[in-house]
Amino acid sequence: MIKDIANIIESVKISRSITLVTLYSTHVSNREKIFEKLAANNINLDIISQSPCFGGDITLSFSLPDKDTAKTLEIAAEFKAEKNISPNNLVISFFGTEIINTPGVAAKIFAEFSARGINIILISTSDVSVSCLIAGSDDVKAIKMLEEYNFAYTY
């Protein structure tokens, strides 16, 4: 599992007090307007996920600091989107320059979380990172996993 890729992971960052916002049945033409309005209000987003877009409505999910939830709800109300708000989560991000050249890194990370009974709510990947948003209630299990594999982490 994750021990097989420990040499690929160069650092780990944990972000606490994260809210997951999901906006359902949002017309695709509102996507840019929503994100522009959030940016204009100094709301910094981390993970962004969109359902497949074939025209019409989409579902948008994104994470942000808990402290920005109230203002985000005000903005979402302007677009009359059905929403789900899930506060008190954390994001664990694994970084490594060789992730792009190593097939299976994400799979091994996901398997380790699963083996420990930690549900990954939202995922984001790039050439050099894998980020997992998990419930804050799984904080202790996730930290224990990182410490077992001697991952140095920062907040």
Pick the last residue of a domain from 67, 87, 107: 87
CA distance 101 to 7: 13
Question: Is the domain of 31 the same as that of 11?
Answer: no
Three-state secondary structure call for residue 15: strand
Question: Is the domain of 82 the same as that of 41?
Answer: yes
Question: Is the domain of 97 the same as that of 82?
Answer: no
Pick the last residue of a domain from 55, 87, 119: 87
CATH number, domain with residue 47: 3.30.70.260
Please state, in angstroms and as integers, the Cα–Cα distance from residue 31 to each residue in 22, 54, 57, 106, 110, following that order. Answer: 12, 14, 10, 28, 29
CA distance 105 to 103: 6
Question: Is the domain of 45 the same as that of 24?
Answer: yes
Quick one: pLDDT band at residue 152, thresholds 50, 70, 90?
confident
| Cβ 132 vs Cβ 47: under 8 Å | no
Given this model, what pLDDT does residue 106 score? 96
Pick the last residue of a domain from 40, 60, 87: 87
| Cβ 61 vs Cβ 18: under 8 Å | no
pLDDT one-digit tens code per residue, 8-54: 999 999 999 999 999 999 999 999 999 999 999 999 999 999 999 88
Question: Is the domain of 39 the same as that of 12?
Answer: no
pLDDT one-digit tens code per residue, 70-122: 999 999 999 988 999 999 999 999 999 999 999 999 999 999 999 999 999 99
Please determine, for residue 55, whether its predicted confidence score (pLDDT) is greater than 90: no
Least Cα distance to 27 among 82, 96, 93, 107 occurs for 82
Domain membership of residue 38 as a residue range: 19-87
